[in-house]
Amino acid sequence: MSVSNESSTATALQLQAHGGGAAQFAEAANVFALLSDPTRLHLVWTLAKGEADVNTLTEASGAARPAVSQHLAKLRLSGLVQVRKEGRRSVYALHDGHLRRLVVEAISHADHMVTGAPPHD
């Protein structure tokens, strides 16, 4: 069996194991809705690389600081990011690796669409 077929089989088995109830679909739709805003997606993509404070996230995203703060509040309230205090600074991080992998795959897919790179598993 090729690596591609093994990967596809593993993914199919993972999907079967997790089921797909209404609650899971609703929660996944909420995540996608939150990530549908380009600024929030950029913030989460930046956090996929590691923790960051508001100044770093503002610089990375190119958005205004008040907008970044509002987006971070939504992401925090939804449970997608967590925050901890480090002196006067608030340091943000992704809640878990699932979100990190989701965003990395979404950006990789977008890169393929923009550059015309061939699809792959």
pLDDT at 121: 79
How many separate domains does the chain show? Answer: 1
Task: Note the pLDDT tens digit of each residue in 62-112.
Answer: 999 999 999 999 999 999 999 999 999 999 999 999 999 999 999 999 999
How far, in Å, CA of 54 to CA of 92, rounded? 8
pLDDT at 3: 44
Residue 6 lies in a domain: no
Residue 42 lies in a domain: yes
Residue 5 lies in a domain: no
CATH number, position 76? 1.10.10.10
- Domain limits for position 25: 20-115
Residue 27 lies in a domain: yes
Residue 52 CB-density burial (10 A; 0-12 exposed, 13-18 middle, 19+ buried): middle
pLDDT at 11: 61
> Which residues are CB-neighbours of 94 under 8 A, at least 6 positions away?
44, 47, 48, 80, 81, 82, 100
Residue 104 lies in a domain: yes
Residue 11 lies in a domain: no
Q: Does pLDDT of 1 surpass 50?
A: no
Q: Does pLDDT of 15 surpass 90?
A: no
